[in-house]
């Protein structure tokens, strides 16, 4: 990977904070955008803007071609079929749609849904809501002290009433990469549907839906160099065909009478209203950019930076690190605390040096409760980060510790 060339593609990295170069270590919250993505969105508005699927004129035809072309591009990236790729507003909307539709089609009173203790709220609250509405039961697979899923407990919780197993592919706090293929195999044995929150994995490593073995997968565009306002719900065709729409309105129907309507086929059935057209085009440009560098190379780079950060944190007796110690078992992020210091103080001191890290509960309150901490700091890495930046981050932690201890 030619880091200097990659960094030159991200205009925001030229920004300076307090006279120092910006060091952006919060890509797990949202990634920065390269020029080809920014330009793809701008070019669409300059040259091709029209609504999709309805215009007879050439411009609308071209816009539709670009929008559907983006779907095909993203499907190929995932090893999926285009008709299985639904554009949503983001991971949150995708998971809400999946939870609602599975509730409508598969969930009866007394049934069970399994989540995990490490879920982001986006993959917890929709299941809380659907189990509450349907009179079903929600159980969480516990984590081990190392931050892995407790697979023995999973097997004990998985029973004939289990209809859904919903889990993160990679945790946004612990970093843990969960063994989705093995979990899916066991879940399928009892007939459960496997829903994967891939918001922290698809941007960072090769993900092929066939190899993963899940039934439903959700991720966001903005964490993978794409724009905000677009995400993807991938689901097996037979599921999508059975699902009713969550949102109804324009563009998702076949025939409408005053008394009722028939639904369009997937994926249009789940894309009511004008979709994020320019954003889909820009997301396809982001996928092209990522593939141009190679997902294997991006994964290797993220793993190397995570290893460096982990090593540096573990060598500092005043730091407490959460999640697996082995960088190969985790995504490109590390959550930690400096003993006795509040994460907000640490983040503010690093911000003074132009270093952006996240501090808080990262939308995973139950996980923080389990860890016995109110909040944590998190540094996350992406293809544009360098070893020098990780080293600057570690040195800044030493200064923060000295300033406040």
Q: Which residues lie near other proteins (CB under 8 A)? A: 341-345, 348-349, 351-352, 359-361, 374-375, 403-404
The residue written with tokens 């030229």 in the block is: 14
**Please, what is the minimum distance in Å from the beta carbon of residue 404 to other proteins?**
6
What region does 228 belong to: left with phi over 0, alpha with psi -120 to 50, or beta?
beta
Provide the minimum distance between the beta carbon of 375 and other proteins in the complex, in angstroms, as a whole number.
Answer: 5
Question: Distances from the Cα of 18 to the Cαs of 21, 26, 397, in angstroms?
Answer: 8, 18, 17
Q: Which is nearer to other proteins, 23 or 349 (CB)?
A: 349
**Is the distance from CB of 3 to CB of 251 less than 8 angstroms?**
no
Pairwise CA distance, residues 306 & 222, whole Å: 21
* CB of 22 closer than 8 Å to CB of 356: yes
* Matching residue, tokens 């299941």: 127
Q: Phi and psi at residue 132, in whole multiples of 5°? A: -65, -45
**Least CB distance from residue 91 to other proteins, whole Å?**
21
How many angstroms separate the first and last alpha carbons of the chain?
39
Active site residues: 363
Helices (H), ranges, 230-316: 237-242, 277-293, 295-314
| Strand-pair partners of 338 | 319
Closer residue to other proteins, CB minimum distance, 260 or 372:
372
Task: Output 145 or 372, the one with its CB closest to other proteins.
Answer: 372
Nearer to other proteins, 274 or 348 (CB): 348
10 Å Cβ neighbour count for 399?
13
What span, in angstroms and rounded, lies between the C-alpha atoms of 256 and 251? 11
Peptide bond into 402 cis (omega under 30): no
Q: Which of the 8 DSSP states describes residue 245? A: P
Closest CB to other proteins among 284 and 341?
341
Q: Give whichever of 164 and 400 is closer to other proteins, judged by the CB atom.
A: 400
Please give the structure tokens belonging to residue 64: 């539709």
Nearest of 175, 223, 179, 218 to residue 198 by alpha carbon: 218
CA gap 290, 302 in Å, rounded: 13
- φ, ψ (nearest 5 deg) of residue 350: -70, -35
């Amino acid at each position: 990977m030619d880091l200097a060339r990659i960094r030159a593609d991200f205009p925001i990295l030229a920004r300076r904070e307090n006279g120092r170069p910006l060091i952006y270590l919060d890509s797990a919250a949202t990634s920065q955008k390269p020029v080809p993505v920014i330009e793809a969105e701008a070019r669409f508005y300059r040259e091709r803007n029209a609504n999709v699927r309805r215009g007879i004129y050439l411009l609308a035809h071209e816009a539709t071609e670009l929008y559907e072309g983006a779907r095909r591009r993203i499907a190929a990236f995932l090893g999926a079929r285009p008709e299985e790729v639904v554009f949503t507003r983001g991971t949150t909307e995708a998971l809400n749609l999946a939870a609602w539709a599975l509730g409508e089609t598969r969930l009866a009173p007394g049934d069970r849904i399994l989540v995990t203790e490490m879920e982001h709220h986006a993959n917890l609250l929709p299941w809380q809501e659907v189990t509450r509405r349907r009179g079903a039961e929600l159980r969480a697979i516990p984590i081990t002290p190392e931050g892995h899923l407790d697979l023995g407990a999973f097997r004990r919780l998985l029973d004939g009433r289990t209809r859904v197993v919903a889990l993160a592919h990679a945790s946004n706090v612990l970093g843990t990469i969960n063994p989705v293929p093995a979990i899916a195999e066991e879940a399928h044995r009892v007939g459960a549907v496997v829903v994967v929150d891939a918001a922290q994995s698809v941007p960072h490593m090769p993900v092929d839906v066939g190899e993963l073995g899940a039934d439903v997968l959700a991720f966001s565009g903005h964490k993978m160099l794409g724009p905000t306002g677009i995400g993807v719900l991938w689901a097996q065709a037979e599921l999508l065909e059975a699902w009713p729409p969550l949102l109804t309105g324009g563009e998702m129907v076949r025939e409408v009478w005053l008394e009722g309507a028939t639904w369009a086929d997937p994926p249009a059935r789940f894309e009511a209203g004008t979709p994020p057209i320019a954003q889909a085009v820009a997301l396809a440009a982001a996928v092209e950019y990522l593939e141009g560098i190679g997902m294997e190379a991006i994964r290797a780079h993220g793993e190397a930076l995570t290893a460096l950060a982990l090593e540096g944190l573990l060598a500092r007796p005043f730091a407490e690190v959460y999640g697996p110690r082995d960088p190969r078992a985790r995504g490109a992020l590390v959550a930690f605390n400096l003993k006795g210091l509040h994460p907000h103080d640490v983040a503010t001191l690093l911000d003074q040096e132009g270093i952006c890290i996240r501090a808080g509960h990262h939308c995973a309150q139950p996980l923080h409760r389990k860890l016995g901490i109110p909040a944590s700091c998190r540094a996350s890495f992406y293809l544009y980060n360098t070893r020098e930046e990780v080293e600057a981050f570690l040195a800044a932690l030493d200064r923060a510790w000295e300033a406040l201890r």
